[in-house]
A and B are shown apart, each in its own frame.
Chain A
Amino acid sequence: MKIINAGKISAAVAQLCLKANYSLRSDVLAKIKSAYKNEADRKAKAALKAIVDNAEIARRDKLAICQDTGLPIVFAEIGQDVRIKGDLRKAIDKGIVKGYKQGSFRESIVCNPLKRDKSSHQGAVIHTEIVKGDKIKITVMPKGFGCENKSILKMFLPTAGIDEIKDFVIETVRNVGPDACPPYVVGVGIGGGADLACLMSKKALLRRITIYGLRITDYVSKIESDLLDDINKLKIGPMGLGGKATALAVNIETYPTHIAGLPVAVNLSCHALRSATKIL
């Protein structure tokens, strides 16, 4: 049994808020740089250059990568051999408010979704999971709402083929077009119930962006790689200016599901895909 103080969790969360909002994830930045290198279209190339410059300015000057510092989504994987001394929920909330205040980030959360009066930093979405071990793994993902607004869930028939699922993902990106800050990272959740499919589609965005080599052996990686190729054929491109880079990656997560159904959820991220993780 390991004891972890709630104060330690608060401090970690605050630090992760700053890190995620100031420093673009290294895998995302690397992929944007490689897209910049491969782009031939002048305007699309300039748009990718602006994204790279923006990331550098944000890190150097301690400015938020994007003014939409997001709805903070917190994933806490808690080892079953850990005892938390103090209030976990309060500790996370406190850490978010501290980090967001320190960074002068935007108060983008309305406490009452219907009245929509005064906005603040209070109201992070928290997902906890009990796992093996005696550690806590905390991830903060500031999710911008331009892209979150484009999320979609479809309950397919269990007899649907993989081509129908692929078409659904491609059509989703086609419909979103230039509106949610392409190039996108496309998170897809397949299986479970409606709730888990949506959660997996978001968690899929946390996975580091893979640059596929020549040897793709497993079934899901092959679908990811095919979908990425097909989406990039849409030629939406950065800022919708055309060019090769409409998506940087397609990440799929799967889970067992019911014989009567096949839930598929898509959660898009803009190019400013932000997340930071710490293990306590």
Chain B
Amino acid sequence: MKRIIGLSSFNIAKLKAGDEVSFSGVIYTARDQAHKRLVRDIGRGKGRESPFDIKGAVIYYCGPTKTPKGKVIGSCGPTTSSRMDEFTPFLLKQGLKGMIGKGRRSQEVITAIKKYRSVYFLAPAGCGALISKYVKKVEPVAYADLGPEQILKLEVENLPLIVAIDSKGGSIYG
């Protein structure tokens, strides 16, 4: 089990598809509608920009439940990554370094992961209650009107992940 603390200064080339890792650091939740807006806001310029620094960042495909009283966060597992495929190459070009989700990615995404030397992880799918235990802090970042699809900044500790696609384009799904 490799330990990773953030990705901005981590040597991503050391990660191989199939590696089990323990991830600590900051991740940003973003799913369908947040991706659409991110690409619109960054892509068009027009005085708008990304609500967080994409360079070196990790995006988690997740829309948690509401936070029950007395808890840091509610259930917060990964959603199906492939729905974000059409937006991902653009974000990787902007400097996005890591993605966490579940399931396969398109060939275009795999090519972009290789080109921009980034990495795609799997989180324990359908295990949102379990994952909530690894989240230590939550802060809203942007798009509050999207409700469960807003962007949140999560600080996680020792979150268990599996490298699904590595920076050389290697994939556990063959």
Contacts and interface: CB of A to CB of B under 8 A. Distances in A.
Given A67-B75, A68-B79, A118-B145, A104 B67 contact: yes
Interface in A32-91: 43, 47, 50-51, 53-55, 57-58, 61-69
B64 A106 contact: yes
Interface in B46-93: 62-69, 71, 74-77, 79-80, 82
Contact of B129 (A57, A178, A270): A57
A104 B68 contact: yes
B75 A146 contact: no
Count class of interface residues, chain B = 35 or more
A206 to B, nearest CB: 19
Which label, helix, strand, loop or mixed, suits the secondary structure of the B interface?
Answer: loop
Interface stretch (B4-12, B37-45, B111-119, B120-128): B120-128
Nearest to A118: B147
B106 to A, nearest CB: 12
B162 to A, nearest CB: 7
Interface in A118-171: 118-119, 146, 149
Interface in B116-174: 122, 124-130, 132-133, 145, 147-149, 160, 162, 172-173
Interface residues of A, number: 40
Contacts of A240: 103-104, 122, 172-173
B102 interface: yes
Contact of A105 (B66, B124, B162): B66
Contact of A63 (B74, B102, B172): B74
A54 B80 contact: no
Contacts of B126: 51, 54, 65-66, 181, 270-272
Nearest to A108: B148
A116 B127 CA distance: 27
Given A107-B147, A119-B147, A146-B79, A64 B102 contact: no
Interface string A249-270: 0000000000000000000001
Contacts of A53: 127, 130
Interface of A: 43, 47, 50-51, 53-55, 57-58, 61-69, 103-108, 116, 118-119, 146, 149, 177-181, 239-241, 270-272
9 contacts: A50-B124, A51-B124, A53-B130, A54-B128, A54-B129, A66-B128, A67-B63, A108-B63, A177-B103
Top 7 closest pairs, chain A to chain B, by CB: A179-B103, A54-B127, A64-B75, A104-B66, A58-B129, A63-B129, A67-B128
